[in-house]
Structure 1
């Protein structure tokens, strides 16, 4: 039986044509036992347990292992299940037998892994690459979901060849639209998920008593429309139950929980809501000839 490292190494070798040197942009060749070397001799080794660190320089983030472990638990509970089902349906509607998916801002990999699993169940041949600047998340993804190419990468300098992506996922994550345009194939599309007005409404109303209790995604969606051609917009709204023993993980995961006053946090953990509103907007956008 292959180790997780070997499974991930094989996935990287099979997807080597999708990758590009983050320093010079040239193509890679694989050099045993575990190095990716470009034509300019820049070399990157597969790290344990099987991911590629493709940053020009080290980058520290505020996202630590505890956050990603909590995120995995919440996703495993099915909290985002209806969203991921719909995301997968949209991708499947392309009817492609082979598809390349990049998850820009993949975190600890749970969303991408579920999309890949559901697409493969329809006999779709999927090549998937997860990208995130937070090493702890990518490290966990490689450990938990072998068979996908996991990369520590900067979305402002994606280590991928131009016009190679059929779909770029960007779920509740920052974007770099110039890079996304470079990476998308002519008929490819960006699938971006952003919060809607009632996302986590119960939590917002508890934490805030001013205008912050409401949320607007107008600035995000306006920026996207300036850079890409929006083809389709839809809203996914549902109530998601959340177990009391998972609520501390939820507060660890979401930025809303990072700055709660200690007394408020204690009160909330003592009597958390039994369900939360998931209210998200899915945006499908394609490349445009406009600059």
Structure 2
């Protein structure tokens, strides 16, 4: 089956998940490779089987093929595996669960979740604001569906997802709560002070504001919306080969504010391991 046909099939079988980004009406039908809402707004599937569900043009610092390819290499090498296992440990095995990957990037996390969960009754949807990332995500061998969408105006119906996965993405909690089922969970990963600490300290001097990091504001905001939230710290070291380190530099936004001279120096010296230090936030309504 072609990707466009697979995408059309997924939407047709899961119309109850989607709503129109233009008028917020429900999606009602799929005709060949086009999707229609109740007010007859039309959205055409791409050849890769994706939908563009943003009603305005967007620009993103993350719309970079090289960065997304580097992320895929690191994730397929296992960089986030302990994080993904911790997320899965907080998920039940309900029948017909709907799972949303917020800011899914090039799709590796969604693919790994599906691979580890091994539950064919579940529906997986990943979205990102980067069209390049979504195009790469369609290369994954997954039954999931990918679309271009804006987290501040989610093209999904109220109470449509049992699990919302958010790894390092920004948050629009009013929208997250809207699409979260009454018994659903938001599982959000935020970096701690020592996340990629070796690289941060190598790239920035002590007097630079990027030399240190605090997630307190992000944590406080989460508790404002989910006062009964639970947290779990996940901390480990990940071994790097020279090639993996090269891709780590391409993948992380930490490089964006560093001088070219410092980047070249760090690239030459390299790192043999990196610290992954994050907090899993678990929010229920």
Give the alignment's TM-score, normalised by structure 1. Answer: 0.93
What's the secondary structure of 1:69's corresponding residue?
helix
Partner of 1:3: 2
- Residues 98-122 of structure 1, C-alpha deviations (whole Å, 9 max, x = no match): 21111111111111111122112xx
- In 1: Cα distance, 2:251 partner to 2:39 partner: 40
- In 1: Cα distance, 2:142 partner to 2:5 partner: 9
Partner of 2:210: 212
1:46-85 maps to which residues of 2 (within 5 A)? 46-63=45-62, 64-85=64-85
- Residues 185-225 of structure 1, C-alpha deviations (whole Å, 9 max, x = no match): 11111100000121111011111222532211100010111
Kindly state the Cα deviation for residue 146 of structure 1 after the two structures are TM-superposed: 4.2
What's the secondary structure of 1:229's corresponding residue?
coil
What's the secondary structure of 2:138's corresponding residue?
helix
- In 1: Cα distance, 2:68 partner to 2:13 partner: 27
- Residues 73-122 of structure 1, C-alpha deviations (whole Å, 9 max, x = no match): 1111111111111111211xx231321111111111111111122112xx
- In 1: Cα distance, 2:240 partner to 2:4 partner: 34
Kindly state the Cα deviation for residue 247 of structure 1 after the two structures are TM-superposed: 2.1
Partner of 2:97: 99
* Count of residues in Structure 1 that have an aligned counterpart in Structure 2: 282
Q: Could you list the runs of 5+ residues in structure 2 that have no partner in the other structure?
A: none
- In 1: Cα distance, 2:190 partner to 2:30 partner: 40
Q: Could you list the runs of 5+ residues in structure 1 that have no partner in the other structure?
A: none
- In 1: Cα distance, 2:142 partner to 2:40 partner: 28
1:1-291 maps to which residues of 2 (within 5 A)? 2-63=1-62, 64-91=64-91, 94-120=92-118, 123=119, 125-210=121-206, 212-287=210-285
- In 2: Cα distance, 1:215 partner to 1:124 partner: 40
- In 2: Cα distance, 1:143 partner to 1:30 partner: 26
- Asked whether the equivalents of residues 111 and 140 of structure 2 are also in contact (C-alpha less than 8 Å), the reply is no
Kindly state the Cα deviation for residue 69 of structure 1 after the two structures are TM-superposed: 1.1
- In 2: Cα distance, 1:74 partner to 1:200 partner: 13
- Residues 232-260 of structure 1, C-alpha deviations (whole Å, 9 max, x = no match): 10000000012211222211211102232
- Asked whether the equivalents of residues 8 and 147 of structure 1 are also in contact (C-alpha less than 8 Å), the reply is no
